[in-house]
């Protein structure tokens, strides 16, 4: 009985992992449309949870664009980002990964300046990660 339960659990976990790692054409299209149109950290987090398995190519560039704009132009909401990444380290890695060379240099400069000069209390760790990635 235990062997059957262990086998069933193993198959279920394998199916879940396989499903997460395969980006269907429908998911890829939806992710590409959504990734570059995200306007706040909660929508980025929802999109990450829904489409992280599609984070490649144009989808990845879209995420980088949205994340870059949020960090450069909407820094006042970084405390919300800090709350989200504190609860989910995978999301933290996702955000930091998207502060990359596809983001325009002037945007990266603004992000680094925000992180260095305008870091909210209790967000120092995140600000250091952001500043490091932007530089």
Q: Tell me if 40 sits within 8 A of 77, measured CB to CB.
A: yes
Question: What is the domain partition of the chain in residue ranges?
Answer: 24-134
Tell the burial category of 49 from Cβ atoms under 10 Å away from its Cβ (0-12, 13-18, 19+): exposed
Q: Tell me what pLDDT residue 16 has.
A: 41
Q: Tell me what pLDDT residue 20 has.
A: 59
> Using alpha carbons only, how large is the chain's radius of gyration in Å?
17
Q: Tell me what pLDDT residue 21 has.
A: 77
> Residue-wise pLDDT tens for the chain (135 aa)?
544 444 444 444 444 443 457 999 999 999 999 999 999 999 999 999 999 999 999 999 999 999 999 999 999 999 999 999 999 999 999 999 999 999 999 999 999 999 999 999 999 999 999 999 999
User: pTM score > 0.95 for this model?
Assistant: no
Q: Tell me if 55 sits within 8 A of 94, measured CB to CB.
A: yes
**Residue whose pair of structure tokens reads 């990359």 in the numeric block:** 100
């Amino acid at each position: 009985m235990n062997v059957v339960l262990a086998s069933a659990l193993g198959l279920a976990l394998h199916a879940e992992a396989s499903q997460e790692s395969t980006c269907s054409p429908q998911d890829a299209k939806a992710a590409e449309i959504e990734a570059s149109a995200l306007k706040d950290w909660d929508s980025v987090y929802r999109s990450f949870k829904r489409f992280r398995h599609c984070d490649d190519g144009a989808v990845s560039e879209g995420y980088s664009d949205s994340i870059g704009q949020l960090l450069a132009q909407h820094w006042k909401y970084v405390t919300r980002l800090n709350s989200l990444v504190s609860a989910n380290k995978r999301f933290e890695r996702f955000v930091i990964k998207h502060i990359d060379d596809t983001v325009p240099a002037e945007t990266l400069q603004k992000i680094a300046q925000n992180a260095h000069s305008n870091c909210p209390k209790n967000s120092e760790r995140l600000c250091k990660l952001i500043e490091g990635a932007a530089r």
